[in-house]
Amino acid sequence: MAYDLYVITDEGIGQGRSHAELAARAVAGGADAIQLRDKTLSGRDLFTAASTIREIASDAGALFIVNDRLDVALAAGADGVHLGESDLPIGEARRLAPPGFIIGASVGSVATAIRAAAEGADYLALSPTFATGSKDDAGPGHGLATLAEIRTAVALPLVAIGGITAKNVADVIAAGADGVAVISAVVGQDDVTAAARDLRARIVAAKANQ
């Protein structure tokens, strides 16, 4: 599974564009994975958005992940769910999900990364890798040294999330990330498609240099 450029939709900083519009523009720029993230929508509205994005992502050959809500992810036929440390435990989600369903986990240390892997996560996100203004409770960044330590300790796909930009993405890949999950660097930009294309090209170039 490719997580090189993993774009998280956020209508709050999406310049008036809907989750579906943001997803469509991001996959047009080559996003490998889309995450629907909205902590304000009702379950019904989240399901409606998820159902639309599922089509957009599958037409583009991109993965589609729903944040927090396993029920919505399953009902909408998403590829997976992304769980944080205060969400449903990974093992419980694994028990409810069908074979092949992706469970991503936010982690903040080597210890939590090892635990999430043991519980059955399919990929890990170091959250936040750098400080970010896009998540109120994200806290300080864990940094590239922690990213590199997790890379060594756990064999799962590892994405960096939080504060990733065109300027630092090459360093993040060099430190061992398989990909980057971003909000503002793509969905906050005037031209979402161009921003996705540029960021993805930088990721591909950084990987080619390894």
| Separation between Cα atoms, residue 27 and residue 193, nearest integer Å | 7
| Separation between Cα atoms, residue 90 and residue 189, nearest integer Å | 33
Of the candidates 69, 106, 127, 184, the residue annotated as catalytic is 106
Of the candidates 94, 115, 135, 207, the residue annotated as catalytic is 135
Mask 99-128, x = binds ligand TZP (CB under 6 A)? Answer: ----------------------------xx
Q: Which does 183 bind (CB under 5 to 8 A by kind): ligand TZP, Mg ion, none?
A: ligand TZP
Q: What residues contact 203, with CB distance under 8 A and at least 6 apart?
A: 4, 5, 169, 173, 179, 180
Query: Which C-beta is closer to Mg ion: that of 31 or that of 83?
Result: 83
37 is an active site residue: yes
Residue number of the CB atom closest to Mg ion:
84
Query: Which C-beta is closer to ligand TZP: that of 6 or that of 47?
Result: 6
207 is an active site residue: no
Of the candidates 25, 37, 69, 197, the residue annotated as catalytic is 37
135 is an active site residue: yes
Query: Which C-beta is closer to ligand TZP: that of 3 or that of 95?
Result: 3
Among 183, 192, 196, 203, binds ligand TZP (CB under 6 A): 183
- How many residues lie near ligand TZP (CB under 6 A)? 15
Q: Which does 138 bind (CB under 5 to 8 A by kind): ligand TZP, Mg ion, none?
A: ligand TZP
Q: How far is the CB of 98 from ligand TZP (least distance, A)?
A: 26
Query: Which C-beta is closer to ligand TZP: that of 52 or that of 184?
Result: 184
Name the residues that contact ligand TZP, by CB under 6 A: 8, 127-128, 132, 134-135, 138, 161-164, 182-185
